[in-house]
Amino acid sequence: MRYWLMKSEPSAFSIDDLRKKNVSGWDGVRNYQARNFMKAMTLGDRAFFYHSSQEPVGIAGIMEICGLAYPDPTQFDKKDPHYDPKAKPGAPVWFHVDVKFLRKLPRLVGLFELRASPALKRMALFRLGRVSITPVTAAEWNVVLAMAGGDGPFIDK
Partner DNA sequence: GCCAACGTTGGC
Between 56 and 95, how does the x/- string for binding to DNA read (CB under 7 A)?
A: -x----------------------------x---------
The DSSP secondary-structure symbol of 52 reads: -
Chosen residue from 21, 39, 43, 53 binding DNA by CB under 7 A: 53
- Beta carbons within 8 Å of 118's beta carbon, 6+ residues apart: none
Q: Which stretch binds DNA (CB under 7 A): 26-34, 38-46, 60-68, 142-150?
A: 26-34
> How many residues bind DNA, per CB under 7 A?
19
Distance in Å, CB of 121 to DNA, minimum: 15
The Cα 35–Cα 87 span in angstroms is: 14
In contact, 6 and 47? CB cutoff 8 Å: yes
Between 100 and 129, how does the x/- string for binding to DNA read (CB under 7 A)?
A: -----------xx---------------xx
The DSSP secondary-structure symbol of 88 reads: B
- Phi, psi at 82, each rounded to 5°: -100, 15
Positions in the binding site for DNA (CB under 7 A): 7, 9, 30-33, 52-55, 57, 86, 111-112, 128-132
